[in-house]
Amino acid sequence: MRRSHRHEERWSGWWWIDALCIIQDDDHPEKDIQIKFMPKIYGGAREVIAWIGAGDSITDKAMRYIGNQPSTFIRAVAEGYADARLEGFEKTFRDVALCVRDIFNKSYWGRLWILQELTMAKNTTIICGEEELPWKTFIDFATQVAAADFGPSRTLRQVQDEVAAKQPVWLLTLIHKKRSRGLNLAELVFLSKHSVCGRDKKDYIRALLGMVQEGSGRDLDPENHRSACSILSHATEVIIRDMRHNSKISPAIKQRCEKLTRLAHHTPLVDSPL
């Protein structure tokens, strides 16, 4: 917030801060109601600030490099028609490669809630320490580095692997913004399979449901389920139901889906959250 107030003309109106505005008690009945508003809040925000974490001289260097690196050149490297300049690019990138790795090793990237922050927002700014970047600049850099051919350089390839490992995060945001139809629950589960979402197992479904725009998942309401097992079982049923309606799936697979749908019901012996 202190960083953002340096540009006072950029800010007017209200701040929404999840940690303050959402009840953090997993068992509080108001939590589900509050979370339902998240897509509308992020989608209607003038700007979303995504704070990666505390910075240092290393992350500052990486953020400045990402912001200054021409995306057109990185794209040229990735597409293979900048061979004459590749050696110079590798040398420059090698100087900051480990710094970039530190940025992508931040625990922020493993949080499931960030998918709502980054996917729903019209205008997102990434902040790490004292440095900031537009989310689009970050995506351009990350996707091109992940696709670039760095030759035999072991160091650069290790850093490239770290960047590529986070690819589902920005892949999801690109798909959400550019595809003609929305994502269903099954697609969101697949794209977020390496993400984590706090202590409450129901939070995983809560976060995903905020991004569902296609399929039966739109009608799944966490408030109707008193246990994590119950809602996860219902979510499984929803995913199978969507698969049955897919014209590309063979009749044999659809029959198996019918059977699984009947099995995907759960009545917990102990009616308490896991």
User: For residue range 102-132, what is the model confidence (pLDDT) as tens digits?
Assistant: 888 888 877 767 777 777 788 889 898 889 9
Q: Looking at the predicted structure, is the pLDDT value of residue 205 above 80?
A: no
Higher model confidence: residue 23 or residue 177? 23
**Cβ–Cβ under 8 Å, residues 61 and 101:** no
**Cβ–Cβ under 8 Å, residues 142 and 47:** no
Please tell me the predicted confidence (pLDDT) of residue 84.
Answer: 45
Which residues touch 211 (CB under 8 Å, ≥6 apart)? 39, 115, 116, 119, 120, 176, 183, 188
User: Mean pLDDT, the chain, as a whole number?
Assistant: 71
Q: Looking at the predicted structure, is the pLDDT value of residue 221 above 70?
A: yes
Measured between alpha carbons, how far is 148 from 160 in angstroms, rounded to an integer? 8
Please tell me the predicted confidence (pLDDT) of residue 239.
Answer: 75
Please tell me the predicted confidence (pLDDT) of residue 86.
Answer: 54
Higher model confidence: residue 168 or residue 47? 47
Q: What is the pLDDT of residues 72-82, one digit of tens each?
A: 555 565 666 55
Residue with tokens 């922020």: 108
Residue by residue, DSSP assigns 145-159 as: HHH---TT-HHHHHH
Q: What angle do CA 105, 56, 62 make, to 5 degrees?
A: 60
Question: Of the given ranges (35-44, 53-62, 123-132, 250-259), which has the lowest mean pLDDT?
Answer: 250-259
Q: Where are the domains of the chain?
A: 4-178, 185-263
Q: Looking at the predicted structure, is the pLDDT value of residue 266 above 50?
A: no
The mean pLDDT of 99-103, rounded to a whole number, is: 82
Band (268; pLDDT cuts 50, 70, 90): very low
Please tell me the predicted confidence (pLDDT) of residue 270.
Answer: 43
Please tell me the predicted confidence (pLDDT) of residue 144.
Answer: 72
Q: Which residues on neighbouring strands pair with residue 133, listed in sequence order?
A: 126
H or E stretch including 53? strand 48-53
Please tell me the predicted confidence (pLDDT) of residue 269.
Answer: 44
Whole-number Cα distances in Å, 250 to 183, 213, 246, 257: 21, 25, 9, 11
pTM of the model: 0.63
- Closest residue by Cα to residue 243 from 231, 253, 229: 253
Q: Looking at the predicted structure, is the pLDDT value of residue 175 above 80?
A: no
Please tell me the predicted confidence (pLDDT) of residue 143.
Answer: 72
Q: Looking at the predicted structure, is the pLDDT value of residue 203 above 60?
A: yes
The mean pLDDT of 258-268, rounded to a whole number, is: 56
